Amino acid sequence: MSLNQKIINLLTICTRAGKTVIGFDAVCAELKLKKVFCVLLASDISPKTKKEIDFYCEKAGVNALMTPIEKEEYGKYLGKQAAVIAVCDKGFADKFRSIVSQEEILK
């Protein structure tokens, strides 16, 4: 199974469980409330948005994980395009971190 497919499969389960928040403003609001365990970033995120989300994540002590998936592909599975997705569950966040770190090792 490809890395993209692993991420999409887990994201689909996570979203069905109601543990994701989609979109920059909504993610920033959740980060301020300390309800986020990691943030997924689309591969085609704008540099400005990435810089801003990195700032908010650092302030909240949360990992921002760059994924190989583009906004449009996230849109197919989430119902709307998204460059920033918050994961609001520790178990799901740990699994996303392990999947993305596997990809880092393979590079």
What are the pLDDT digits (tens) for 39-76?
999 999 999 999 999 999 999 999 999 999 999 999 99
Please tell me the distance from the alpha carbon of residue 89 to that of residue 17, in angstroms, as a whole number. Answer: 10
User: Which of 22-26, 55-59, 85-89, 99-103 bottoms out in mean pLDDT, i.e. has the lowest?
Assistant: 99-103
Please state the φ and ψ torsions of residue 95, each to the nearest 5 degrees. Answer: -65, -45
Single out the residue of 88, 75, 91 nearest to residue 29, CA to CA: 88
Please state the φ and ψ torsions of residue 22, each to the nearest 5 degrees. Answer: -115, 135
Query: Model's pTM, two decimal places?
Result: 0.92
Q: What percent of the chain has pLDDT over 90?
A: 82
